[in-house]
Amino acid sequence: MNQQQAKSAGQVWKNVDGNPISCLEKIKVLNQNFEELRQIAQDALDDALLMQCSEEQIRQALHQMIDELHYSFESR
């Protein structure tokens, strides 16, 4: 486990009321999803830099993509 993985594993996930999520299965799914996203983003950054793209531009594009995500279900 690298430093970034350890950091995300120590993340305290909170519900909408600000209380920590206590269900271990939910925490496991959240941590797995987060790590998968991190690896995909790392691969995209690495590929872009290998193709001599601007690091600043790819980072901005990744941030923008995250900022544009919306909840995809009807309602909570």
Task: Return the amino acid letter for 63.
Answer: H
Q: Are 21 and 14 in contact (CB under 8 A)?
A: yes
| pLDDT for 8 | 55
The yes-or-no verdict on residue 33 having pLDDT over 60 is yes
Would residue 46 count as lying in a domain?
A: yes
Please give the residue range of the domain that contains residue 63: 22-71
Confirm if 65 and 48 have CB atoms less than 8 A apart.
Answer: no
- Structure-token match 């350890």, residue found: 6
Mean pLDDT of the region 2-20: 77
pLDDT for 5: 52
Separation CA 71–CA 20 (nearest Å): 21
Indicate whether 8 belongs to any domain: no
User: 6 in a domain, yes or no?
Assistant: no
- Total count of domains within the chain: 1
50 pLDDT higher than 90: yes
Supply the pLDDT for residue 2: 56
Residue 74 has pLDDT above 80, yes or no: no
Query: What percent of the chain stands above pLDDT 70?
Result: 86
